[in-house]
Amino acid sequence: MDKNINITLKVWRQKGPKEKGAFETYKLNDVSQGSSFLEMLDVLNEQLIREGKEPVAFDHDCREGICGMCSLYINGHPHGPDSAVTTCQLHMRKFSDGATITVEPWRSAGFPVIRDLMVDRYAYDKIIQAGGFVSVNTGGVPDANAIPISKKDADLAMDAAACIGCGACAAACKNGSAMLFISAKVSQLALLPQGRTEASRRVKAMIAKMDELGFGNCTNTRSCEVECPKEVSISNIARLNREFIVAKLQD
Amino acid sequence: MWLLNSSIGRKLIMSLSGIFLILFLLFHASMNVAAVFSEEAYNAICGFLGANWYAVAGTLVLAAGFMIHIVYAIWLTLQNRRARGRKRYAVNVRPKGVEWASQNMFVLGLIVLCFLGLHFTQFWYKMMFAELTGHHEVELGGAIVSAHDGAAFIRYYFSNIIVVALYLVWYAALWFHLTHGFWSALQTVGWNNTVWLKRWQVIANIFATLICAAFAFVTVFFYLESIL
Amino acid sequence: MTPINSKTPKGPLAEKWKNYKDHQKLVNPANKRRLDIIVVGTGLAGASAAASLAEMGFNVLNFCIQDSPRRAHSIAAQGGINAAKNYQNDGDSVYRLFYDTIKGGDYRAREANVYRLAEVSNSIIDQCVAQGVPFAREYGGLLDNRSFGGAQVSRTFYARGQTGQQLLLGAYSALSRQIGLGKVKLYKRHEMVDVVKVDGRARGIIARNLTSGRLERFAAHAVVVATGGYVNTFFLSTNAMGSNGSAAWQCYKKGAYFANPCYVQIHPTCIPVHGEFQSKLTLMSESLRNDGRIWVPARKEDAEAIRAGKLRPTQIKEENRDYYLERRYPAFGNLVPRDVASRAAKERCDAGFGVGNTGLAVYLDFSDAINRLGRNVVEQRYGNLFQMYEKIVDENPYKTPMMIFPALHYAMGGLWVDYELMTSVPGLFAIGEANFSDHGANRLGASALMQGLADGYFVLPYTIQNYLADQIQVPRFSSDLPEFVEAEKQIQDRIDRLMKVRGKRSVDSIHKELGHIMWEHIGMARNADGLKEAVRLLGELKKEFWSNVRIPGDSADLNIELEKALRLADFIEIGELMAHDSLNREESCGGHFREEYQTPEGEALRQDDRFSYVSCWEYQGDDKDPVMLKEELDYEFVVRQQRNYKN
């Protein structure tokens, strides 16, 4: 049963990208275990505002685990210790009375800190802009049922497409690699006939962009898939490798 | 060239050189096991791998394989550290499902490499290298033995408990390195999916265990022989 | 009073859109390059419009408040998107989709708009499939459908429980392609704080850079607002934390009519409120009503025992359960439209049959479906929703029935637009949830995605050309024009005023109070006295806000409290307008239920003779009441009836 707990928070505070940051410690009493982690931070901010201090900045929006805006590295895990959830779906019942909770921003060269726990993940958008699409304009497309697609492929594509672009994969990776993110998009589109047509162009462009942005090289530790809130599988990375190698060999 | 300037290309080289070294290990382990059953056979192989042009060529290819694997490991590791950024997490937890070895491949590789140095000074330097420099007999623990008498080398070194212990540590590091390296290499060439991932991991564990057990068996066998 | 002209084309219903397209003015490719369009918002409507306009050759400036266009709240839509494909051979057609939508909206939408929506719905599915949206498929490889509320055919296309996500990512990828090509310039973490008019036309916006806190000016030939709805006025809703009505509200203050603000949708299947700390409500997809059965205990003593924690729902025998939707609406059963289902739940809870520790919940039970189909099938269909529920509530819905309660979800009202989706300010367009156009007084499930994408892909890119065709001679504007300077100064003054208050209360605490007032008086059931009380309370709250809010930090810097405060200032005013509109509309229709106007069985009672119009509110100034103009709704093609989901 949910009860109220007292916790100690160690939160990373950093005024700006260039400034030095440090941990601040806050005590929070009577936190309902039924509340979500972000609701707990709301309570903390309410308390800080009452004390005349600046609230902790953190990204969040939908609070139902789909927009991918929330981040936070909680007690050594992106999106906290629960599995298959984002931080906004993490509930305080995962923590016990008297716990000390350390909250850090995503740390990866690709994700510079903007303020406190907020980071800039625009690099992921840039990778999509490099090729994560099917080049069709609006209108003039065939009927939706013109090309049958096997249920298996459609389901696999959907598994990959479940990625929310939150950045947990790169944040979890000791190499700062964005391969899981890219592989999800490459897989989704490579599995569908609509995306197949420009599959090799896409994979080359996206990998080139990823390298240009300075993300690391995958060493298959699997931290990304374990921490991924949508449980995107590293079998997508294998497919990405395959697609890329074949595309390059065809050149 | 995409093999050099793309991340997957570099990873591919890492993976192919790794697979090549794994095959070499398989050969080396089989050869060692031969020594247990017949020292003559073992010495015959040693002789065959002496200062012949094909053995030297093979050694050069092997050395190249090692060098590529090592250079790329350093290169990739440096890149990855840069990609990680200068700021580190205060709390680090290895999530469930992540092998310890997978996160420590560079360190494990380094340990393997250091022992390789020891191994070289003990064996290769006094065998193939000695022959190449024109010495057909070398001094070993006060005795003069033929550079082809591999069995003598084994008997000599593996009678020393410290050397044996060091070698066993080496095999352990190698075991960890292989359990991850094996399936990771196949993942990198793209030969993987959700079903095969589990299969490869099992195969990797069996394979690494077999190779390391073979090496350890030979080492322990000769040590026991020396004290019994 | 000038009569409001909706510019609906003449002719038979099915030919209007075709006729319009055949005769509208177009802009040739060379001229498109010379025209700039601002699109505010990157949800389904905004992203699809920005991408489509850029593909055609226009220069697009696109704004979003989040860190990436992919975060827009369209992403959270779960259930599906309607289209009249009739792939299931169950008798669907464009007309039937049109009719269901008009009827579902309680005959308060514009016929021509709704017909156009139904007409282009099929193209949307084609477009999305071509983009690589992984819709659910049958084993034969063709697309699968499910049913949704308010329809007797299966016309809803879906991608697991994440249809909105997949459609948005489709539009986002099209948008990303144009950003990569340089045809769209993206401004992320930028919030529109004003629209700028030059010579009576919308010519640009002022946006606040949320990272630096600076105000920035942007000029263009036309402005498109795709900023979603305003139901966060209620504080607790299924909308994202950042969803707000401010962009639309600024348009209103610059002369765009605000239409039907009283029409907001209360979604019947949300996870019930749980405590004071709650920041938002989580929706459980309407698709769950396909297989879940809704009930409360039939005996009051059972309900009381459940509330006291002495009885578990599984212990209640079949004959002691009241499947009230099946009882009251045999023809549609659990699949009645949202407004009907929500009110029925409220009715049961008000009568003392509610469950959960607050008594404000009803059961959504899958035990029948699990027995009939097996757990596997249920898991396949709804697994992710069940998992989500369990994470939040800490109860296993495979074993214990889910608890649900209605929550604020969608705004049918919004900026008034004509047939071309242009507001009453020339050059200012509104699309998606931000406009009022297609859903009347109540939106059917799976129609929001349809409307957002219809507007963005297939309607606005045409109609905006009819406006822009006259603008090709107009050179690019400088954002240094006095109009821009003045607009920026006004915003700056407002920000300074807010920062100077230095009161005691946080923005959220005032917002929560606003939410309570709204829910209490302008919620699921409204009456004249309550609405008058709401007007009074909102007036007081406004004073409280402007005299007692506390915003730490600096205004010319990243300042989240300031962002929230600027939005809250507008929410309070939106609440006031909702109250005015609700008071004015003395009838019950769709999402607007006036207790004074109901049938003896408690169904909504429309007053077609008096209120068959769109209420268009015109801003008169901060201290004056707004003026209401009417757009009469002439039903040429459909015969209006009392909505009936019983037989």
Touching subunits for chain C (3+ Cβ pairs under 8 A): A
Q: Which residue in this structure is represented by tokens 């991991």?
A: B201
Choice between A128 and C152, residue whose per-residue pLDDT is larger: A128
Q: Which of A205-209, B114-118, C240-244 has the lowest mean pLDDT?
A: B114-118
Query: C-chain residues within 8 Å CB-CB of A157?
Result: 132, 134
Q: Which of C328-332, C495-499, C600-604 has the lowest mean pLDDT?
A: C600-604
Residue of A nearest to C83 (CA): A144
Residue of A nearest to B73 (CA): A219
Bridge partners, B144 (sequence order):
B139
Query: A-chain residues within 8 Å CB-CB of C52?
Result: 137-138
Residue A134: pLDDT band (50, 70, 90) is: very high
Q: What is the mean pLDDT of residues A26-52?
A: 95
CB pair distance less than 8 Å for C242 and A150: no
Asked if the model's pLDDT at residue C2 lies above 70, the reply is: no
- The edge-to-edge listing of strands for the beta sheet with C190-198 is C190-198, C201-209, C215-219
Mean pLDDT over each residue of chain B, to the nearest integer: 93
pLDDT tens digits for range A160-196: 999 999 999 999 999 999 999 999 999 999 999 999 9
**Side chain identity at residue B199, one-letter code:** R
- Structural domains in chain B, CATH included, are 2-227 (1.20.1300)
CB pair distance less than 8 Å for B83 and A107: no
Asked if the model's pLDDT at residue A1 lies above 80, the reply is: no
Q: How far is CA C62 from CA B153, C47, C245, C309, in A?
A: 75, 8, 18, 52
For CATH 3.10.20.30, the residue range(s) in chain A are 4-114
Nearest to A189 by CA among A139, A132, A232: A132
pLDDT score of A191 = 98
Residue C477: pLDDT band (50, 70, 90) is: confident
Q: Domain C267-408 is of which CATH architecture?
A: Alpha-Beta Complex (3.90)
Query: A-chain residues within 8 Å CB-CB of C67?
Result: 59, 69, 120-122
CB pair distance less than 8 Å for C73 and A57: no
* Percentage above 70 pLDDT, chain C: 100
**Residue C183 CA to its chain's centroid (Å):** 29
Nearest to A97 by CA among A157, A28, A40, A45: A28
CB pair distance less than 8 Å for C279 and A149: no
A113 in contact with chain C, both atoms CB, cutoff 8 A? no
A207 in contact with chain B, both atoms CB, cutoff 8 A? yes
A216 in contact with chain B, both atoms CB, cutoff 8 A? yes
pLDDT score of C61 = 98
Q: How far apart are CA A104 and CA B88, in angstroms?
A: 10
Strand C156-157 relative to strand C184-187, pairing: unpaired
Q: How far apart are CA A116 and CA C189, in angstroms?
A: 16
Query: C-chain residues within 8 Å CB-CB of A122?
Result: 67-68, 188
Cα torsion angle, C321, C323, C324, C328, sign: negative
Query: Which among A10, A108, A174 is the nearest to B103, CB-wise?
Result: A174
Query: Which among B7, B91, B193 is the nearest to A76, CB-wise?
Result: B91
Using alpha carbons only, how large is chain B's radius of gyration in Å?
20
Asked if the model's pLDDT at residue C95 lies above 60, the reply is: yes
Angle of CA points B94, A208, A175, to nearest 5°: 15
pLDDT tens digits for range C259-278: 999 999 999 999 999 888 89
Residue A103: pLDDT band (50, 70, 90) is: very high
CB-based contacts of C320: which residues, under 8 Å, 6+ apart? C297, C298, C299, C302
Are A27 and A1 within 8 A, CB to CB? Answer: no
Contacts 24+ apart (CB under 8 A), B95-101: B95/A77, B95/A172, B95/A223, B95/A226, B95/A227, B96/A226, B97/A222, B97/A225, B97/A226, B98/A221, B98/A222, B98/A223, B98/A226, B99/A221, B99/A222, B99/B179, B99/B180, B100/B176, B101/B176, B101/B177, B101/B179, B101/B180
* Percentage above 90 pLDDT, chain C: 91
pLDDT score of C620 = 97
Residue C82: pLDDT band (50, 70, 90) is: very high
Are A55 and C552 within 8 A, CB to CB? Answer: yes
CA distance, residue A96 to nearest chain C CA (Å): 16
Among C307, C338, C443, C606, which one carries the catalytic annotation?
C338
Q: C156 in helix, strand or coil?
A: strand
Fold exhibited by the domain C482-632 = Methane Monooxygenase Hydroxylase; Chain G, domain 1 (1.20.58)
Query: A-chain residues within 8 Å CB-CB of B92?
Result: 76
For CATH 3.90.700.10, the residue range(s) in chain C are 267-408
Burial tier of C555 (Cβ tally within 10 Å: 0-12, 13-18, 19+): middle
Nearest to A142 by CA among C129, C627, C301, C347: C129
pLDDT score of C1 = 52
Gap between the terminal Cα atoms of chain B: 58
Query: B-chain residues within 8 Å CB-CB of A237?
Result: 187
Q: How far apart are CA B197 and CA B180, in angstroms?
A: 12
**Residue C433 CA to its chain's centroid (Å):** 4
CA distance, residue A59 to nearest chain B CA (Å): 19
Whether C338 is catalytic: yes
A228 in contact with chain B, both atoms CB, cutoff 8 A? no
CB pair distance less than 8 Å for A67 and C67: no
Interface of A with C in 159-198 (CB under 8 A): 161-162, 164-165, 188-189, 192, 194-195
Could you please report the per-residue DSSP string of C466-499? HHHGGGTTSPPPPTTSHHHHHHHHHHHHHHHHHH
pLDDT tens digits for range C148-200: 888 889 999 999 889 999 999 999 999 999 999 999 999 999 999 999 999 99
Q: Which of B142-156, B201-215, C488-502 has the lowest mean pLDDT?
A: B142-156
Interface of A with C in 2-41 (CB under 8 A): 2, 32, 34-36, 38-40
**Side chain identity at residue B142, one-letter code:** G
CB pair distance less than 8 Å for A36 and C275: no
Burial tier of C516 (Cβ tally within 10 Å: 0-12, 13-18, 19+): middle
Q: How many helices (H) and strands (E) does chain A have?
A: 9, 7
**Side chain identity at residue C445, one-letter code:** G
**Side chain identity at residue C195, one-letter code:** V
CB pair distance less than 8 Å for A62 and C76: yes
Q: How far is CA A59 from CA A237, C184, C189, in A?
A: 28, 25, 11
Using alpha carbons only, how large is chain C's radius of gyration in Å?
24
pLDDT tens digits for range C29-81: 999 999 999 999 999 999 999 999 999 999 999 999 999 999 999 999 988 99
Q: C343 in helix, strand or coil?
A: helix
Choice between C416 and B87, residue whose per-residue pLDDT is larger: C416
Query: Residue C500: left if φ>0, alpha if ψ -120 to 50, beta else—which one?
Result: alpha
Q: Which of A108-112, B93-97, C544-548 has the lowest mean pLDDT?
A: B93-97
- CATH match of A4-114 with 3.10.20.30: yes
CB pair distance less than 8 Å for A104 and B7: no
Query: Residue A140: left if φ>0, alpha if ψ -120 to 50, beta else—which one?
Result: left
Fold exhibited by the domain A122-250 = Fumarate Reductase Iron-sulfur Protein; Chain B, domain 2 (1.10.1060)
* Percentage above 90 pLDDT, chain B: 77
Choice between B146 and A8, residue whose per-residue pLDDT is larger: A8
pLDDT tens digits for range C561-581: 999 999 999 999 999 999 999
Cα torsion angle, C234, C235, C236, C241, sign: positive
CA distance, residue A67 to nearest chain C CA (Å): 5
**Side chain identity at residue C269, one-letter code:** T
Residue C556: pLDDT band (50, 70, 90) is: very high
Could you please report the per-residue DSSP string of A130-176? HH-S----SS----TTSS---HHHHHHHHHHHT-----HHHHH-TT-
Q: How far apart are CA B148 and CA B42, in angstroms?
A: 10
CB pair distance less than 8 Å for A218 and B12: no
CA distance, residue C525 to nearest chain A CA (Å): 27
CA distance, residue A187 to nearest chain B CA (Å): 12
Nearest to C366 by CA among C413, C332, C400, C404: C400
